[in-house]
Amino acid sequence: MALESGQSDVEPAKGSRFAFFRRNPLLFIVLLFLFLLVSTFLAVLVGTLGPIGPGEPEKISLSDAMYAILKLDGDYPAYYTAVFWDVRIPRVLLAGLVGAALACAGTAMQAIFRNPMADPFIIGVSSGAAVGAVSAGLIGLTTVVGAFTAPMLAFVSALVTVLVVYKMGTVRGKVYVDTLLLSGVAIAAFLGAIVSFLIFFARDDYHQLIPWLLGSFAVAKWSYVWILVLPVCFGVCLVFLFGRELNALLLGEETAHNLGADPEFLKKLMLTTAALVTAGAVAFTGIIGFVGLIVPHMMRILVGADHRALVPASILFGASFLIWADAISRTIIPGQELPVGIITALCGGPFFLYLLRRSRTSGSMS
């Protein structure tokens, strides 16, 4: 013991490289906010037509782009305004909203499950939504009834799945998070089999499903943005306002209770909020993995575990992260759009392994 305490007297706290941000979380959040603004602006300029991008078949000049974005009169083709205002701007905003929603839901889930491996999809949202979206796609409802059918079906089936998982993990009104986690895994596996079955019979229609299954913002419309903006803002604010209580919950439910935070209420509120914003997000854009898992982790390394700082940081960075991932996905292969889920997983996978190694060697998960 003497050795242990002697050691720890000398050794500074882990993550002290970033101690500056931990001491000044407000400054960090302001910086992230500025980063988000800059990212949004730059991402609007990114595209096949440029000004940032390959510029095929023609390249929009920066000044034309600025004129078009600001809708000023000028000497540029009329469709430039449409490129920015009907395609890129709603797309970037949607990416930002979904990124914020997923990162925030991920943070909340990790707190509820007291498990750094939890993500927004842990209670079956993604697998439930997949069944809805894939069925809708296969029956061909999209073309018959309208563009909102598939998202609606995905949203509803996601919520039904969450409800089933929730019921499985609840005994006499008390939520048991370990049971909840296992039910989520089991039901996700079950629904995954159904989705595979549907895909198997889809044969040639299979390709239409890929963008949704791997997540894509190609479908972005202003209407999607308007539908998502209020629930997402409301949800992330709710998570932020209960930040102190989430801190307490990470020390165990009994400790949370003893600190005046009602753990049952908190679990139910956070599960509902996270499920709703996640289901809303994936209904439109498909399953975008890793954002909800790694963004909270990255932010925890930078600002620490206190949710009063962690939640806003995750929301802002989650939005920026997905905006950049989308910008890369639509330009990295000229003339082709990659599903954004591929980009997030490409970045997320190696980073996750790094975290895993870090937690193995340092003993504490950041």
Partner 1 sequence: MRIDVSDLSFSFGVSRVLKNVSFTVGDGEFLGLMGPNGSGKTTLLRCLTRYLPADPKAVFVDMKPLHTLSDRQLATTFAVVPQSSSTDFPFTVREIVTMGRIPHAHSRILGSRAGDARLVSAAMVASGCDFLADRHFSELSGGERQRVVIARALAQEPKALLLDEPTVYLDISGQLEIMDLVKKLNKERSLTIVAVLHDINLAARYCDRIALLHQGRLEAIGPPSDVLTPETIQSVYGVDVAVRKDPFTHGIYVMPRSITTSARKNGARVHVLCGGGSGGPILRQLVEHGFSLSSGVLNVLDSDYECAVDLHIPVVAEVPFSQISDETNRGNLSMIDDSRAVVVSRFPVGPGNFKNLEAARYALDNGKKVFVISGLDLPSVDFIGGRADACLRGLINAGAVEVSSVDELTRQLGVELEALK
Q: How far is the CB of 8 from partner 1 (least distance, A)?
A: 6
Contacting partner 1 (CB under 8 A), which of 204, 260, 335, 361?
260
Q: How far is the CB of 54 from partner 1 (least distance, A)?
A: 42
Stretch that binds partner 1, among 48-56, 121-129, 221-229, 302-310 (CB under 8 A): 302-310
365 binds partner 1 (CB under 8 A): yes
195 binds partner 1 (CB under 8 A): no
Binding mask 227-256 for partner 1 (x = CB under 8 A): --------------xx-xx-xx-xxx-xx-
Cα 113 to Cα 180, 233, 251, 341, distances in angstroms: 9, 23, 11, 24
Stretch that binds partner 1, among 108-116, 157-165, 179-187, 193-201 (CB under 8 A): 108-116
Q: How far is the CB of 3 from partner 1 (least distance, A)?
A: 11
Q: How far is the CB of 97 from partner 1 (least distance, A)?
A: 22
Contacting partner 1 (CB under 8 A), which of 59, 257, 268, 358?
257
Q: Which of 216, 227, 243 is nearest to 341 (CA)?
A: 216
Q: How far is the CB of 363 from partner 1 (least distance, A)?
A: 7
Contacting partner 1 (CB under 8 A), which of 306, 347, 351, 358?
306
358 binds partner 1 (CB under 8 A): no
161 binds partner 1 (CB under 8 A): no
Contacting partner 1 (CB under 8 A), which of 63, 196, 223, 258?
258
Contacts 24+ apart (CB under 8 A), 165-171: 165/123, 165/124, 166/123, 166/271
143 binds partner 1 (CB under 8 A): no
268 binds partner 1 (CB under 8 A): no
19 binds partner 1 (CB under 8 A): yes
14 binds partner 1 (CB under 8 A): yes
305 binds partner 1 (CB under 8 A): yes
Contacting partner 1 (CB under 8 A), which of 40, 115, 179, 208?
115
Query: CB neighbours of 268 closer than 8 A, spacing ≥ 6?
Result: 175
Stretch that binds partner 1, among 2-10, 51-59, 96-104, 350-358 (CB under 8 A): 2-10
Q: Which residue ranges make up the site for partner 1 (CB under 8 A)?
A: 1, 4-5, 8, 13-15, 19, 22, 114-116, 241-242, 244-245, 247-248, 250-252, 254-255, 257-262, 300-301, 304-306, 308, 363-366
